Structures are given as structure tokens and as C-alpha cells.
A = this chain, B = another copy of it.
Amino acid sequence: MKINILGAATTRFGELWETSPRALAREAMSHALKNADLKPQQVDALFVGNMLAGILGNQGNLGSFFAEELGVSVPAFHIEGACASGGLALHNAINSILAGQHKTVMVLGIEKMTDFNQEDITSGLMAAGSDEERQAGATFAGIYALMAQAYMQQYNVSEELLSSVAVKNHYHGSLNTKAQFQNIITIADVMKSTRIADPLKLLDCSPISDGASAVIISSENIGDVSNPVSITASEVATDTLALYQRESFATLSAVTRAASKAYSKANITPSDIDVAEIHDCFSIAEVIATEDLRFSKRGEGAKDIAEGKYTLGKGKIITNPSGGLKACGHPVGATGIKQIVEITEQLRGQAGSRQVKGARIGLTHNVGGSGAVAVIHILQT
């Protein structure tokens, strides 16, 4: 059975002080319906990816909550898996179609973070971590900093080289009108930005963001079928919550396992990928992902990024054309779905000034915690 993406839309990402979760969801879902040329009554079920509405806003039951905004009393589900909540929601939505339970399903990723104070957000995000890490006072910046230190030592990589991730993603973000940050930055800008958790600096870190993204997937050809994109693999793997329980800090085993299965299921190799959205919550995350996804050799990810191998107009595989989590923004539950929206627009040839020419095969890489869960999707025209 073929899973087609019928519609895809995202709100702007950013500090959206004047809007509510309900309004964000309405905007993303109504634009996805318009994009697909469908009515709400043609949607059989709703899957919602969200991490923090319960912890920060005391709102649960999010399936029913957002089904109200869709305006139809369909079966509705809330899937949570930290920053991978969006990708995991899509995975379960795909299963519901393959299972024969539904034909056409809306998947909403959403997060409203900026309404809360910084301390609560930092604490809330640590819900993705382990007891031990929380009790030790670790933050995710701190945890990824440990990974960066281990990686830099193991492969003799400099902070300057690491900085090239943010430089590339800000360049791509400058071409995306939906991005939270649309300014071009330099390696010098990254290097002189505030140190957050050594060696990570402010411009190595993705921001706190609001946003919602929605896709409509279906086993049927209904609505506007002029731009067919299909999902040919959806794979999930998990690992320990805590870093200290892992053999290496310089790779995420959940990513390598999920990616291997996804490549095999879609019957492609890493070099077949034209465009990928990568979970660059911190610059080191994108470097490691570039290697875990087998785009770059071990230890060469940062160098390859710095050399433009993944930059629009220069490289062969373009990573994070949306600007990634760093520049486009990271409303955690929305991120996994925004990645799908971006790849869909790329494969349809509708990505405007950030279009990857001739893109036919795309990948999304969505991670929860410091690699406790990974979701890989492969999309093809």
C-alpha cells in the first residue's frame, strides 16, 4: 500500500506571543487541508505530536483537544516522545492506514513554548532525560556539550569546524520566510557568541520556539493529486535515556539502527538522498547525524559541512534547507512534522529560493532526548 502526502503546511516558527496553541493548530491544519484541496470531513483520524503542553500548560487529552479545532469528532491520538513527538505521531498515523483502520489521516505537530518562563522550559525539556541527569542538574545543552567534547577529542575537530553547521543553517534559513531566524551569520559570529556549555556557544544551540505544522497522508488519491509525494519508509529505534549508559558519545545508536532499516525498506542507499532535514538541536548533533546517516565518513562530518558538501547550490545532498532547528526554530513537538513539510515542498519543486534542484528522494531525521529515540522517514516522488 502506498502512503501519499496529500497536503502539507506549517505556520511561521518564532516567538509568537500573540497566538494560542488552538490558533496555531487551526492555521497549520486549515492550510494543510487547503494545500490538499480537502475538507475536514474527509479526514478519518488525527494524530498529534506534542511534548510540553501537559508539563508547562497542564493541558492533556490533546487528541480530543485538537480534534475540536479540526472540527470533526474523529479518532484522535496524542503521541509523546520528547523532541521526536512529531515524527512518532507520523509513524503511528502511517501504521493506522497500513492497518486498514483509516484511509486519510491528519498529523499535527505543535508546541507553544515562549509563554512560559525560561527556568520552567529548561526544566520541562529535561523531562526527556534520565533521573540521574536531572538530579545532577544537567541540561540538554550540557549533555550535548559532553558529546561535542568526546567527538572533538576522538576526531581532532576544532570549535571553528563545528561552527560551520550554524553558518550553513542560517544561510538556508535566510531563504525561508517561515524561519525564526533569517539572518546570515559567520564562523566569527558563532565563535564570539556567549558560551552556554563548553564547547557549545549560543549560536550552536537551537532556540525556544512556537509553531505548528501539519501533513495529511492517505492511501487514496483524493483532492489535489498534481504533486505526488510518497512515504516509502518510517522507522523508529530507541536507546538508553542517559548518555552515561552508552558505549560511545560520538554516535547515536538509535539513529544508525533506524536509518539502516529505513534505507533497506525504501531500497535505497544514503547516496541516493537528494535532500534531508536533520535534527540539529545543537551543532554537534548535525555533525554526528551526518555520519550516522552515512552521508559523511566517521570524523569527517564537520569538515564536509564546512566545505559546503551539504550547502544549497554547492553540495550533492542538501541538509536542512529549511534552516534546520537552529535557524528555522525548534517548537519541539512540531519539528518532526515541519521536516516532512519541508521535504514535501522540496520534492514537489515548490521550495522557491531554497529549492534543491531536481530533488526526488528526501529523508527526515527526528531525535528525542540525547538520542533515546530516533525516527527516520524517507519520502520519494
Contact = CB atoms under 8 A, between A and B. Distances in A.
B238 A76 contact: yes
A63 B240 CA distance: 11
A173 interface: no
19 contacts: A55-B60, A59-B127, A60-B81, A60-B127, A61-B241, A61-B372, A62-B80, A63-B373, A64-B81, A64-B238, A64-B373, A65-B372, A75-B236, A77-B88, A79-B92, A92-B92, A92-B95, A95-B95, A98-B99
A54 B80 contact: yes
Given A58-B123, A59-B127, A80-B78, A237 B96 contact: no
A38 interface: no
Which 9 pairs across A and B sit closest by C-beta, in order of nearness?
A: A98-B99, A60-B127, A64-B372, A75-B236, A95-B99, A61-B82, A61-B128, A99-B99, A64-B238
B238 A67 contact: yes
A218 to B, nearest CB: 15
A60 B128 contact: yes
**Copy number of this protein in the oligomer?**
2
Interface of A: 51, 54-55, 58-65, 67-68, 73-82, 88, 91-92, 94-101, 123-124, 126-129, 131, 134, 235-241, 253-254, 257, 368-369, 372-373
Task: Give the residue among A63, A235, A368 with the most B Cβ atoms within 10 A.
Answer: A63
A369 B61 contact: yes
Contacts of A75: 235-238
A21 B94 CA distance: 30
Contacts of A101: 95, 98
A59 B80 CA distance: 11
Contacts of A74: 237-238
Contacts of A73: 237-240, 253-254, 257
Given A58-B134, A80-B80, A94 B99 contact: yes
